Amino acid sequence: MPAPSPTYERIRLPEQHFLFVEKTCAMDGPAIAAAMGAGFGAVYSFNAAHGISPVSTPVALYPGMPEGGEMTFHAGFFLTAADAQKVPDLLAAKDASGALTLETLPPGEALRTTHVGPYAALNEAHKALWDHMATNEIAPGPVVWENYIDDPTSTPEDTLRTQIIRMIAT
């Protein structure tokens, strides 16, 4: 049975506060998994140590396209505005790791799709989203991210759900 055709939903996003660690690694499955695990772990540990409850599952935000066999991404979680207000003072404290960054994403329109299947096939879902935007003359914005809905340690690879969100240029 063939996979269902992807669906694309145009959504309006509010301002979002994103706490992350920047990671760069080889474009290699095990290297990506290790870098993402380390990044999510660092942000999760910081949040837990300071009583911060993320409002998202793990998120990998891509500030640019991969180049030269390497990829750079921001691994983290979205926070409430109230928790985001606490973060600068916490990051300035002596016990902060120094690797964490808080960024505020502006409100705006985006397209969202959900990929079901292995992480190794996410590039195909990204390409399909970009093709959909080009076909429908929707100008892509500068920000794209993946929201990992399911835990890969307890969900079969072929049923993992990952939302891909691409901002639309204004």
Cα 164 to Cα 82: distance, rounded to the nearest angstrom: 26
pTM, two decimals, is 0.92
Cα 142 to Cα 163: distance, rounded to the nearest angstrom: 17
Cα 102 to Cα 151: distance, rounded to the nearest angstrom: 24
- Band (94; pLDDT cuts 50, 70, 90): low
Dihedral sign of CA atoms 62, 63, 65, 71 in order: negative
pLDDT in tens, 56-81: 999 999 988 777 889 999 999 999 99
Task: Give the mean model confidence (pLDDT) for residues 87-112.
Answer: 87
